[in-house]
Amino acid sequence: MNLFLINPRKLFIALVTLFYSTVSMAQSSGHHVRETLSSADSSAQIDSNKTKELKKTAFSLVPSSYMVQYAGSIGLFSVGAGWDYSRQKQWSTDFLLGYVPKYDTDRAKLTFTLRQTYTPFKVQLHDQLSYHPLRTGIYLNTTLGKQFWYKEPDKYPSSYYKFSTRLRINIFVGQDFTYKVKSNSSYFEGIKFYYDLHTSDLYLISGIQNKYLKFDDYIGLALGIKFQIRRK
Amino acid sequence: MKKFWIYIVLASISLLIHSCNMFDIHPYSGKIEGRQDINRDNIIKIERDYAGRDTIKYAFISDSQRWHDDLDDFVKIVNKRDDIDFIIHGGDISDFGLTKEFLWQRDILEKLKQPYVALLGNHDCLANGEEIFEQVFGNPNYSFIAGKTKFLCLNTNALESDYSKPVPDFSFIESERLKDIERFDQSVVVMHARPTSDQFNNNVASVFQYSIRQYPNLLYCNNGHDHTYQEDDIFKDGIIYYGTPNIGKRQFLIFTVTKDHYTHELVSY
């Protein structure tokens, strides 16, 4: 059974392209707001709005958040940096480095993760506390080590194993709470607590095909904290 | 409206608390919980309980990767019978080499009332799978004596090994040939991939056959891997290789071994 209808490398490139196109879309929407404003209001107000909107939505290479995560099929603990974008900060792209202790095997492992999250709804519970009832998305995880390959080595007959031991495609749904810091000048703007229920291609196909496997056999839980940096 | 959201929050928190054992570190974490060294302990049971018996009867299954439901049904069926002395699993316990796959299948096999042993399949070698296999089940080359028959269980997945270790391991085969000779008078060789298959080191196929034929009164061989029932005299020397279908076909073999003689049947469920 072919688990990847498309080549994993192509998928990776496609996801990166999607990320940059979303970023440029977010930037151009900010630009659009600026233009509408300049045609309407008084000049002083326009200027302040203009710079504010532009800076909020503009893409910066400096990450807008840092995070730590527990579990999630990417390591015992992972640390990462993220970019939150679009006007309502509904989209975010995170890059995480995970550590897997050696447990009962010969060596510990490091993993890399690229995660794309979409958070469509926001509920303001309190002045400083907001709640996002849904966060969902996809993450790709690669594991370092020569035991793990993208495509089976040449020694095998072609299409012998039809899947990659190195690249996992995960999907997730979760929720988060964001606590905004009161100060307007602090380095951190807010702190976000999230949890995700996730599964990967290989777990999912095992779970779907077998009634024997229960929900918690192939669905995992991850907990994380995201520190959001203030953008001036 | 606010109350509604509070209920949602409370429901979410209770779900979180409920799911504390759901943390998955990594698909290839190698985090093994529960029973380990199963072959070693079950071999002690087999050798003790059936010592000196003239007739033994065992079920031979193989290739249960990703067929958890069918393996579970097999366990239920065998547990209803009382004539099976032990079970041999011919390998491919996992499909992707995932740590959890080994544990899922182990937990199904653990429900068996009779002792069982498992062989290493080629899928079990994927990623760090072989390390997990060795922890949970044991060394990929081993032997045991049931009644008066020696079962030689061999790792034959040469394609997986990159010549980093001998597969098949001729020095192991030689060292086992006369070990405990006073306790057995006939032999059976069990493997995952048989000679001529894509996994076997076919350069040494006839040498392999020669070396196992040196065993006292070799009756026949058992193999898995090909996912179909096989009964072939591969080397035209009277030694039959009996291949068992994958468990997904809901079929398995039962062998009855007596002195100098054996019968087998293909069971469908």
DSSP B18-80: HTGGG----TT-----S---HHHHHHHHHHHHTTT-S-EEEEEEB--TT-HHHHHHHHHHHHH
Confidence at residue A92, expressed as pLDDT on a 0 to 100 scale: 95
Contact B120, B91 (CB under 8 A): yes
Q: Inform me whether the pLDDT recorded for A52 exceeds 60.
A: no
Q: What is the pLDDT of residues A176-195, one digit of tens each?
A: 999 999 988 889 999 999 99
Q: What is the pLDDT of residues B161-216, one digit of tens each?
A: 988 899 999 999 999 999 999 999 999 999 999 999 999 999 999 999 999 999 99
Contact A167, A144 (CB under 8 A): no
Confidence at residue B1, expressed as pLDDT on a 0 to 100 scale: 65
From chain B, pick out residues whose CB is under 8 angstroms from the CB of A74: 26
Q: What is the pLDDT of residues B222-244, one digit of tens each?
A: 999 999 999 999 999 999 999 99
Residue A12 lies in a domain: no
Least CB-CB distance to B26: which of A109, A155, A213? A109
Residue A68 lies in a domain: yes
Report the mean per-residue pLDDT for chain A.
84
**In the sheet that B116-118 helps form, which strands lie side by side, from edge to edge?**
B116-118, B86-89, B56-61, B251-258, B261-268
Report the CATH number at residue A160: 2.40.160
Please tell me the total count of domains within chain A.
1
From chain A, pick out residues whose CB is under 8 angstroms from the CB of B26: 73-76, 98, 100, 109, 111, 143
Residue A38 binned pLDDT confidence (cut-offs 50, 70, 90):
very low
User: To which CATH superfamily is domain B2-268 assigned?
Assistant: Metallo-dependent phosphatases (3.60.21.10)
Q: What is the pLDDT of residues B130-144, one digit of tens each?
A: 999 999 999 999 999
Q: Which two tokens stand for residue B93?
A: 């316990």
Residue A111 lies in a domain: yes
| Whether B22 and A100 lie within 8 Å, measured CB to CB | no
Residue A26 lies in a domain: no
Least CB-CB distance to A156: which of B69, B101, B159? B159
Confidence at residue A25, expressed as pLDDT on a 0 to 100 scale: 57
Q: Which helix (H) or strand (E) holds A207?
A: helix A201-209
Residue A179 lies in a domain: yes
Q: Which DSSP letter does residue B159 get?
A: G
Q: What is the pLDDT of residues A137-180, one digit of tens each?
A: 999 999 999 899 999 999 999 999 999 999 999 999 999 999 99
Provide the domain limits for residue A175.
Answer: 60-229
User: What span, in angstroms and rounded, lies between the C-alpha atoms of A96 and A78?
Assistant: 6
Please report, for residues A86, A98, B227, B261, the alpha-carbon distance to residue B220 in angstroms, rounded to integers and kept in the order given: 69, 49, 19, 10
